[in-house]
Amino acid sequence: MNGLKGRRELKHAITKADCHLLRNSLQNFMTLDPHGQDGRYLIRSVYFDNFDNKILRQKTEGFYHRDKFRARLYDHNTDFINLEKKSKRNNLTYKQKCRLSAAEYERIRSGDIDWMSSDSRCILRDLYVQMTLFQIKPTTVVDYEREVFIYEYGNVRVTFDSHVKTSYRDTDFLNPELIVVDAMEPDVIILEIKFDEFLPDIIKQLLSIIDTRKTAFSKYQLSRRYG
């Protein structure tokens, strides 16, 4: 992974009641993300896949070696877009990213990709290879609200993702009026815990107050349940 440092990610579906209970405990030991308002912001991602649902199948079948590409923006700000490559290697997650302009995304969306092969950004070149070999392309948009708590030791991030919505197959990522619909039950919150080599005992204890044994799943996987 070119010297990248992998992180561990745990994902669980919890109820709003559990979220409220856990949030009240975490705020005594963790700090809110300085971005957004009170640690909250809106995230919009567009995920890449192909006609055979290669990325979705690898996720569903639990492949230990897989890559996923997405473009992401925050609070509908199209002036700041990241192209991200998220890789899973065994139990570790690696993420690389680079800036992407709105015009570049539209070129990619329309299939105008030859320019990517010689671009200085390695992630764009990697995406070009995947788009050429496996015909992956923007497939679906996912919106959600994220609340983030940070703990310095162990580089821990605990996030609560709510109001997850999907555009199905509409990839008009830059359109703030894009029609999206609910992708999960309104009472469900996605809890994510991300950390480096270890999860500090105090965070483990805080998390133990709720049931986190529920089946883990991804927001992209959720968004593709209906198409």
Domains (ranges, CATH) in the chain? 8-224 (3.20.100.30)
Per-residue pLDDT for 56 more than 90? no
d(CA 218, CA 130): 21
The average confidence (pLDDT) of the chain is 92
Per-residue pLDDT for 216 more than 60? no
pTM of the entire predicted model: 0.92
The predicted model gives 213-227 an average pLDDT of: 70
- Tens digit of pLDDT for each residue in 147-201? 999 999 989 999 999 999 999 889 999 999 999 999 988 899 999 999 998 999 9
- Tens digit of pLDDT for each residue in 179-194? 999 998 889 999 999 9
